[in-house]
Amino acid sequence: MTTEVDTKHPIQIMDGLYQLRVPIPNNPLGWVLPYLIEGRDGWTLVDSGWNVPEAFDALEQQLNDAGVGFAKLKTLLVTHVHPDHYGLAGQVKERSGATIIIHQRERDLIRTRYKNPTQLLAQMGDWLIMHGVPKDSMDDLKTSAMPVRAFVDPVEPDEVVWGGEHINIGRFDFEVWWTPGHSPGHICFLERAKKFILTGDHVLPTITPNISLHVQQQGNPLGDYIASLKRLEDLEVDTVLPAHEYIFKDLRGRLQSIEQHHVERLIEMVECVGDGARTAFDVAGRVKWVTGTLATFTPWMQRAALGETLSHLDYLVLEDRLVKFMENGTQYYKKPGND
């Protein structure tokens, strides 16, 4: 394990497999970890980085250092379309002509999120008001994700996957595992015989990824996420290669501690709802976030906290531990039987 930031030289993990380190400027995550895999007639990159010169330069330098460059890059696999993973996809495509492969459910997000967000913004405004965001901070929250769009150079995938496919790259045989929750079409890549897995943002060594319910992610994302964690529990894996932080070994232990985190957070959410009826924004203001209190958050963080709160509240509704109801256009949560 190395914690010092070397953005010039890739780290060799085994024959034909390298870890890259691409900085995410002004972001507490620090960097994203793309992986570079040697094939028989070209190389595959997993994830890329934000679309900023500093990240592009680091990516290019490391590709060159590995003797690959853009010229020998044949494929770009994208774990999910968040800016730190997908941001440079357009540039990678332009420079290398690589085939871009993304899960179907992520492809569906590209157009509304990155290409033509007008309708998404209108929906977002209504949605924020419905969940109790005060009118005077609504605009700030609504547009808080828009600056991030600048860090994405969107490009359509050449191929989509659904999960279950095998992708053969040189000496490796990767199984595509669909792991929705953090993003609807998030995928991991399992090398069963070599006992390692590329987990993207699905499983990180110390951070729990944001699991949000929002206008583009309806249904039960927390339920999806927990199911996606459980599905990996029986895998015989020695090494976990995540997209942030560092490589680690104990996949099963980490899966269980993330599940436990959500069990505790669900209990906390019920307590935060208390005996009254509360909006999701109200509940988010009572949750003890590791990074501070809702009032001190930037609009972007507030919205992430609201989405995270909602994924837990709706999960609790499906488990009959809470009920929700609408009143004058606002949605409230309360304990069953509390009238």
Residues that bind Zn ion (CB under 5 A): 82, 84, 201
**Least separation in angstroms between CB 277 and Zn ion:** 33
CA pair distance 145, 40, nearest whole angstrom: 40
First to last CA, the chain: 54
Q: Which is nearer to Zn ion, 38 or 201 (CB)?
A: 201
Residue where the block lists tokens 């609790």: 316
The least CB distance from residue 147 to Zn ion, in Å, is: 17
Q: Are 221 and 181 in contact (CB under 8 A)?
A: yes
Rounded least distance, CB 169 to Zn ion, Å: 22
Q: Shortest distance, CB of residue 104 to Zn ion, whole angstroms?
A: 17
* Separation of CA 323 from chain center: 28
Query: Based on CB atoms, which residue is closest to Zn ion, 22 or 169?
Result: 22
Q: How far is the CB of 233 from Zn ion (least distance, A)?
A: 22
| C-beta of 55 vs 322, nearer to Zn ion | 55
Nearer to Zn ion, 201 or 314 (CB): 201
Of 162, 22, 21, the closest CA to residue 87 belongs to 22
Least distance from C-beta 120 to Zn ion, angstroms?
A: 18
Q: Which residue is nearest to Zn ion (CB)?
A: 82
CA–CA dist 6, 8 (Å, integer): 6
Q: Are 177 and 188 in contact (CB under 8 A)?
A: yes
Q: Which is nearer to Zn ion, 24 or 310 (CB)?
A: 24
- Nearer residue to Zn ion within complex by CB, 38 or 84: 84
| Phi/psi at 19 (5° precision) | -105, 130
Q: For residues 29 and 160, which CB has a smaller minimum distance to Zn ion in the complex?
A: 29
Q: In the bound complex, what is the minimum distance in angstroms from residue 29's beta carbon to Zn ion?
A: 7
